[in-house]
Amino acid sequence: MSVQKPSLPKGTRDFGPLQMARRNFILDTIKDTFKLFGFQQLETPAMENLSTLTGKYGDEGDQLLFKILNSGDFLKNVSKGDLDAGAQSILPKVSEKGLRYDLTVPFARYVVMNRNEISFPFKRFQVQPVWRADRPQRGRYREFYQCDADVVGTDSLLCELEIILMIKRVFSKLGIKDYHIKINNRKILTGLSEVIGEAGREGELCVAIDKLDKIGWEKVQEELAQRNFSPYAIEKLSPIVNLMTGNEGRLDFLKKYLAASETGLNGIAELEELFSMLQTYGEDQEHVDFDVVLARGLSYYTGAIFEAKVNHVSIGSVSGGGRYDNLTGVFGLEGVSGVGFSFGVDRLYDVLEELGLFPEENPENTKVLLTYFDTKGFGYGLKVLNELRSAGIAAELYPDQTKIKKQLTYADKKQIPFVIILGDNEIEAGNVSVKELSSGQQETLSLEELVKKWK
């Protein structure tokens, strides 16, 4: 057997110690926030039955699913005819499981399967990797973590309010100051398409209009025309594009603009109530922007839609979500309304790195390294090690008997701030010499004094 070069599958990556410390900083902040708001943690398997996954994400989504080959003789059900018919007819016979594509569908599956045990409204959060057979690029991987929080079983707009509050809290804890939370309502989009005389085409409308920031109104007009939107509709849309600033101003304008659409007015009313609740809660509208053209995964959202973006960074949105009135319907449980959102940890990581917001110190690092010269020192070191750890101080003993120089270099490389040197003098006197590597200062004191100092 020849030696092979180690490699990683496309779109995946390792997380080294530094990255893990930083990721945990982000994940802990998010989890703490979810818990603070009363969400409980759920985990589901990495793999789901393919029947659970397919058909939930549209045709494109189905193609991006990672499928798992059946074990054993996976060809046993495949006939000559299937081979001729191509991949489409072979697939269901060779694969019956797939890797989860997001956390929302497995959650819906869980809710339906456990509907008798769950007391509604049910608030859960889930932090797990998901897999997509996408083509990787910046901020986009084939394996990445999602942090979902969802509430099912209530129509209350309190859920929407809390999503805004949680995003605000997480960003604030992470030190992100310059960002905005875009918010819209699917009903407003529906109203929009009704008012411009293209009822039912809000999906197409949004795909085009969503690009406004990127390509400008001119190009959007072209695309709309290409999609066979009437000149009247396009003309009617133009005031939306240059909508005045301020959430109230936009709402007032749309109230008149959407007067002919009951659904549209409903959406406006929901947003107004949301803003009013925000005020009563004692939070201002800073960072919260009503964005009429915000679209997002229209396949299942039915009410509010959210998206959070950090300003002046090269990464896309880092959080998104919305209300879906009937997610569990496909699994046979009707009438369970849900609302949820998700943080993209990987993208948040890139954002914090780009903004230089990670804490300098690694809080997970060892505090002190014990160094020694000979077997006597090693034995003494073991005792000191035990004492330090018992006092809750992260300590390690250098495993090999070698030159002090090498041991110090190890501490230096690992960015361990303190070193204890254990030689004959210290052993005899029963104390320790502690050296702070950054300053080079060294002092000799008893173990009790040291523990007290670091408490």
Q: Which residues are near RNA by CB under 7 A? A: 2, 5, 7-11, 60, 102, 132, 134-142, 144, 146, 207, 211, 214, 296-297, 316-320, 342, 344, 346-347, 373, 403-406, 408-409, 412-413, 421, 423-426, 433, 435, 437-440, 442
Q: Which is nearer to RNA, 96 or 210 (CB)?
A: 210
On the CB side of 247, CA atoms within 13 Å amount to 21
Q: Which is nearer to RNA, 116 or 438 (CB)?
A: 438
**Tell me, what amino acid is at 157?**
L
Q: State the minimum distance, in angstroms, from the CB of residue 433 to RNA.
A: 5
Rg (CA), the chain: 29
**How would you label 134-157 residue by residue, b for 16+ Cβ within 10 Å and e otherwise?**
eeeeebbbbbbbbbbbbbbbbeeb
Residues 307 and 317 sit within 8 Å (Cβ to Cβ): yes
Q: Which is nearer to RNA, 207 or 260 (CB)?
A: 207
Q: State the minimum distance, in angstroms, from the CB of residue 448 to RNA.
A: 19
Nearest to residue 254, comparing CAs of 334, 302, 205, 185? 185
Phi, psi of 77 (to 5 degrees): -95, 0
Q: Which is nearer to RNA, 182 or 250 (CB)?
A: 182
Q: Which is nearer to RNA, 175 or 203 (CB)?
A: 203
Q: What angle do CA 234, 240, 241 make, to 5 degrees?
A: 85
Q: State the minimum distance, in angstroms, from the CB of residue 279 to RNA.
A: 28
Name 291's Cβ contacts closer than 8 Å, sequence gap at least 6: 182, 183, 184
Q: State the minimum distance, in angstroms, from the CB of residue 244 to RNA.
A: 27
Q: How many Å apart are CA 418 and CA 331, to the nearest integer?
A: 58
Q: Which is nearer to RNA, 82 or 426 (CB)?
A: 426
Q: Which is nearer to RNA, 332 or 440 (CB)?
A: 440
Q: State the minimum distance, in angstroms, from the CB of residue 438 to RNA.
A: 5
Q: Which is nearer to RNA, 253 or 373 (CB)?
A: 373
Biggest distance spanned by C-alpha atoms of the chain: 94
Q: State the minimum distance, in angstroms, from the CB of residue 117 to RNA.
A: 28
Q: How many Å apart are CA 130 and CA 143, to the nearest integer?
A: 6
Q: How many Å apart are CA 207 and CA 153, to the nearest integer?
A: 30
DSSP 8-state assignment for residue 292: T
Q: State the minimum distance, in angstroms, from the CB of residue 205 to RNA.
A: 12
Q: In a 3-state reduction of DSSP, which class is residue 396?
A: strand
Strands 40-41 and 122-131: parallel
User: Could you tell me the two tokens for 269?
Assistant: 């009313």
Q: State the minimum distance, in angstroms, from the CB of residue 346 to RNA.
A: 5
